[in-house]
Amino acid sequence: MNRYIMRAWAVVAACLFFSFNLMGKEISGNVVSVADGDTLTVRDENNVSYKIRLAGIDAPEKGQPFANVSKDRLTALVKNRPIVVKTDSTDRYGRQLGRVFVLVDINELLVHEGLAYHYVYYYPNDAGSRAEEAFARKYKSGVWSLPNGGVRPWDFRRSRKSGKLPEAVEPKAADVPETDNADQSAKPLYWVTISSGKVHNSNCKNFKNTRGYLTDNPSGPDCKICGGASKQ
């Protein structure tokens, strides 16, 4: 009996070792395909292929404005160039989540150019992507040339799933960065409803009355009742 228990533990240990090896590692190689503005496949020197999901960002989906522009830009940045991917985890589809480097941080560059959004649901504390998105918003680059930055990819995907928000992308209260007192006096706070992504200002009847979170930098469609961020 002990022999079988030991074998079972050996299998579990091997699986854990393999999983941890995949996470937090560097992958170097050449890009063999680009699926869209935030997904690519890289092949290393051992001829092993990895599907990479660029962490911290979300590019427009196929059928959305700038989807092809984003994909073409990513392709141009990585084509015929050796890249380095610093992975930190895998997603539910088995893709490696990581940051892609070709001299610069490609993830942040795409956000800087308005060809991807800061993926705030999963990476609320990514200061680099937040700053790059603020730059793109200020200069109306890429998607930010559209009214209020257009429909976010996560909302677009959700709308194709009968309006049901996947449990995995719901932000927890602890994930939303706190704003210090000085910032609170200088910047208005908005309430973002999770199910619709709509932005409500403090004069709205839905402010803090829906399932959502507070932010001083909302990204989403303005509430038609109060006008959201555009009216405060």
What DSSP line would sit under 101-118, residue for residue? EESEEHHHHHHHTTSSEE
- Asked, for residue 8, whether it belongs to a domain, the answer is no
User: Which residue range forms the structural domain that includes residue 50?
Assistant: 22-166
- Asked, for residue 116, whether it belongs to a domain, the answer is yes
Residue 117 has a pLDDT of 96
Residues 139 and 80 occupy one common structural domain: yes
- Asked, for residue 189, whether it belongs to a domain, the answer is yes
Which residue of the set 95, 99, 152, 158 is catalytic?
Answer: 95
The Cα 209–Cα 194 span in angstroms is 12
pLDDT tens series, the chain, 232 aa:
444 444 444 444 444 334 434 446 899 999 999 999 999 999 999 999 999 999 999 999 998 999 999 999 999 999 888 999 999 899 999 999 999 999 889 999 999 999 999 999 889 889 999 999 999 999 999 999 998 898 899 888 887 764 544 333 333 333 333 333 333 345 788 887 866 778 889 899 988 888 766 677 676 788 989 998 887 6
Residues 178 and 225 occupy one common structural domain: yes
Which residue of the set 61, 108, 113, 133 is catalytic?
Answer: 61
Residue 20 has a pLDDT of 39
Residues 68 and 141 occupy one common structural domain: yes
95 is catalytic: yes
Residues 102 and 201 occupy one common structural domain: no
Residue 61 has a pLDDT of 94
- Asked, for residue 197, whether it belongs to a domain, the answer is yes
Residues 195 and 145 occupy one common structural domain: no
Which residue of the set 7, 45, 53, 170 is catalytic?
Answer: 53
Residues 105 and 189 occupy one common structural domain: no
Residue 156 has a pLDDT of 85
Residues 127 and 143 occupy one common structural domain: yes
Residues 138 and 45 occupy one common structural domain: yes
Residues 77 and 185 occupy one common structural domain: no
Residue 232 has a pLDDT of 66
What is the tally of structural domains in the chain?
Answer: 2
- Asked, for residue 129, whether it belongs to a domain, the answer is yes
β strands within the chain, DSSP E: 26-36, 39-43, 49-54, 57-58, 82-90, 96-102, 104-105, 117-118, 190-193, 199-200, 212-215
Residue 24 has a pLDDT of 67
The Cα 127–Cα 222 span in angstroms is 24
- Asked, for residue 17, whether it belongs to a domain, the answer is no
- Asked, for residue 139, whether it belongs to a domain, the answer is yes
- Report the candidate in 116, 136, 142, 112 with the shortest Cα–Cα distance to residue 40: 116
61 is catalytic: yes
Residues 58 and 103 occupy one common structural domain: yes
DSSP letter (8 states) at residue 144 = G
